[in-house]
Amino acid sequence: MTGGIMPTCDDIHLLARYNATMNRQLYDAAATLPHEAVTAERGAFFGSLLGTLNHLVAGDSIWLSRFAGHVTMFRSLETLRGAAIPSDLRQSYGDSLALLRVQRERIDGIIMALAAEVTAADLDHVLAYRNTRGASFCKPFGSLLLHFFNHQTHHRGQASTLLTQAGADIGVTDLLVLIGD
């Protein structure tokens, strides 16, 4: 968002719920496939469906670790403070869908808890962080949360395409489905 417009706490709640819902649908659809189809090289940016799902867990872990440095010191992020941060966006969290799903569900629980804690003042705070190459940045936390959720949606779209190519249907993925619930 530009021009000083920040997302609202309601926006963050909606995006966290959408994220968890879509991840459940994604993993449910992937679970209908044999292991070979989940791990097959499909020419995607992260290779396979499993590679794409691992990237999402790695990216989310990196961003949540950065968010743990917010001045509010969110309780939901306590377990991430001082934890090892992935240094590679291709880090593997498991070579099977079942192992990876455990990590995904843990992270989605943290995201939901974080969304429940965030206040309007927190969204306006400028967060200082370093990227994986060590470069320093300072950006509004609300805008970083929007990027965080947008990144997930982007790669879930890629995963949805990989599922379709493998013959699995993720179902409706539009945010619109959750608006008004």
Residues 139-164: pLDDT tens digits? 999 999 999 999 999 999 999 999 99
Q: What is the pLDDT of residue 86?
A: 74
Q: What is the pLDDT of residue 40?
A: 93
pTM beyond 0.85: the answer is yes
Q: Which residue has the higher pLDDT, 93 or 178?
A: 178
Q: What is the pLDDT of residue 4?
A: 59
Q: What is the pLDDT of residue 14?
A: 96
Is pLDDT at 82 greater than 80 in this prediction?
no
Average pLDDT over residues 105-120: 97
* Lowest mean per-residue pLDDT among 32-41, 86-95, 101-110: 86-95
Question: CB pairs under 8 A, 24+ apart, for 119-128?
Answer: 119/9, 119/72, 120/6, 120/8, 120/9, 122/70, 122/72, 123/6, 123/7, 123/8, 123/9, 123/12, 124/6, 125/70, 125/71, 125/72, 127/66, 127/67, 127/69, 127/70, 128/69
Which residues have a Cβ under 8 Å from the Cβ of 32 and sit 6 or more positions away?
Answer: 168
Q: Which percentage of the chain shows pLDDT scores above 90?
A: 76
Q: What is the pLDDT of residue 6?
A: 84
26-45 pLDDT, tens digit per residue, is 999 999 999 999 999 998 88
